[in-house]
Amino acid sequence: MKLLISKCLAIVSGVFLLSSTLHAAQPLAAAEVKAALNSAYAKYKDLQEGANADYIPALAKVDSNLFGIVLVTVDGKVYSAGDVSSEVSIQSISKVFTMAKVIEEKGEDAIFGNMGVDATGQVFNSIVAVEQYQGAEMNAMVNAGAITATSMISGKSRDEIWGKILSYYGDFAGRKLSVNQEVFESEAATNQRNQAIAKLMYAYGRIKDNPDRATDIYTEQCSVNVNTRDLATMAATLANGGKNPVTRKQVLGNEHVPRVLAVMATAGLYDDTGKWLYRTGLPGKSGVGGGIIAVSPGRFGIAVISPPLDAAGNSIRAQRAITDISNALGGNPYAVAPAQ
Ligand code: GLU
């Protein structure tokens, strides 16, 4: 049964009008999903706001008009609008999946007890945030915590560690992924700040050894090429209790998924994570390549790629399209009908 509650909330910034529809959790109707995607695509395709990230020179060259939307349901249905096959570098969205791998290998306390699971209130590559609690009381969605998570993946050699990370991402996406060499080289040539952050995390004992190698692998993981369908399938795997709904492979232990989603909900969209959660209720993660993923647990994963970012570093079209689509489909897990 479909329950329509309907509300319009004028959000303080005035940018979004939030209209939510509450649905009992039930399979999504194909026509409804297609209509939601097509309508968001049409509404935002000509929006010209924001700018590509340019602090990594190769990102500035990516086509700003690229715009693709994909939604994958937990029963493996794939819906799309716009450009779903062009690839961009995954950037910070990779942090989710490396953290998941660490949890899978070392258990949930490894993350909790090392870099922590709290928002920093600082920018994603903040050094102040590291200094405040000596590398603790932060999370694996900001660079210090993410590079540390990468350093925690076990392996005898760089090749072994890297191979594990890349194939793990591929299991989430449901296909073999590869690295964008131009982006990797561009970021490796300009990542002195991340190198400094890793050294600090090493100084505080959060990274146990070889901070330079951890930064190098982290930089490579950020350079993995993905298209919108890959990202949506990765999100849908989280929505489906860690089992890829397309390949049917259990990629992450079901019991670990709530921890991964909790960290995404806390810190997935940089300093605007609270605003995002307020509007959508969805654990999400953005990357400076222009992608955003969001997870409606037990229902669907959704991804949008569109490179122009706002001041907080989040893709403008992606935020708006996902907000509209999820709210139209009743994706907000906090929005429930009262018991009768
Ligand atoms: N590779 C980027 C960096 O470390 C990722 C940033 C992001 O997507 O937020 O600066």
Is residue 187 lining ligand 1, measured as CB closer than 6 Å?
A: yes
With a cut of 50, say whether residue 308 has pLDDT above it.
Answer: yes
Give the whole-angstrom CA distance, residue 316 versus residue 290: 9
**Whose structure tokens read 């964008």?**
180
- The pLDDT score that the predictor gives to residue 21 is 56
Buried/exposed code over 100-114 (b: 16+ C-beta within 10 A; e: otherwise): bbbbbeeebeebeeb
Is residue 52 lining ligand 1, measured as CB closer than 6 Å?
A: no
Is residue 290 lining ligand 1, measured as CB closer than 6 Å?
A: no
Three-state DSSP at 295 gives strand
Q: How far from the centroid of its chain's Cα atoms is residue 242's Cα?
A: 15
Question: How does pLDDT run across 54-108, given as a tens digit for each residue?
Answer: 989 999 999 999 999 999 999 999 999 999 999 999 999 999 999 999 999 999 9
Is residue 220 lining ligand 1, measured as CB closer than 6 Å?
A: no
DSSP string for residues in 161-202: HHHHHHHHHHHHHTS---B-HHHHHHHHTT-HHHHHHHHHHH
Quick one: tokens of 259? Answer: 């921890």
Q: What pTM was estimated for this model as a whole? A: 0.93
With a cut of 60, say whether residue 6 has pLDDT above it.
Answer: no
Three-state DSSP at 144 gives helix
With a cut of 90, say whether residue 26 has pLDDT above it.
Answer: no
Give the whole-angstrom CA distance, residue 316 versus residue 306: 8
- The pLDDT score that the predictor gives to residue 296 is 98
Kindly report the CATH number that applies to the domain delimited by 2-329.
Answer: 3.40.710.10
Is residue 215 lining ligand 1, measured as CB closer than 6 Å?
A: no
Question: How does pLDDT run across 203-226, given as a tens digit for each residue?
Answer: 999 999 999 999 999 999 999 999
- The pLDDT score that the predictor gives to residue 171 is 98
296 C-alpha vs ligand 1 centroid, how far in Å?
24
Is residue 171 lining ligand 1, measured as CB closer than 6 Å?
A: no
- The pLDDT score that the predictor gives to residue 25 is 63
Give the whole-angstrom CA distance, residue 174 versus residue 106: 24
Q: Average per-residue pLDDT in the chain? A: 93
Question: How does pLDDT run across 164-192, given as a tens digit for each residue?
Answer: 999 999 999 999 999 999 999 999 999 99
pLDDT band at 19 (very low <50, low <70, confident <90, very high): low
- The pLDDT score that the predictor gives to residue 27 is 81
Binding-site residues for substrate sit at: 92, 143, 187, 194, 218, 270, 288
Which residue of 54, 55, 56, 293 sits with most ligand 1 atoms within 8 Å of its CB, as the best mutation to test the pocket? 56
With a cut of 80, say whether residue 20 has pLDDT above it.
Answer: no
* % of the chain at pLDDT higher than 70: 93
Is residue 286 lining ligand 1, measured as CB closer than 6 Å?
A: no
* Atom of ligand 1 minimally distant from the CA of 289: 8
Of 156, 155, 265, 138, residue with least CA distance to 197 = 138
Residues 269/93, Cβ–Cβ less than 8 Å: no
Which residue of 191, 288, 315 sits with most ligand 1 atoms within 8 Å of its CB, as the best mutation to test the pocket? 288
H or E segment to which residue 288 belongs: none
Alpha helices in the chain (DSSP H): 30-44, 57-60, 94-106, 108-113, 128-132, 143-151, 158-173, 181-188, 192-203, 211-222, 228-239, 257-267, 273-280, 316-328
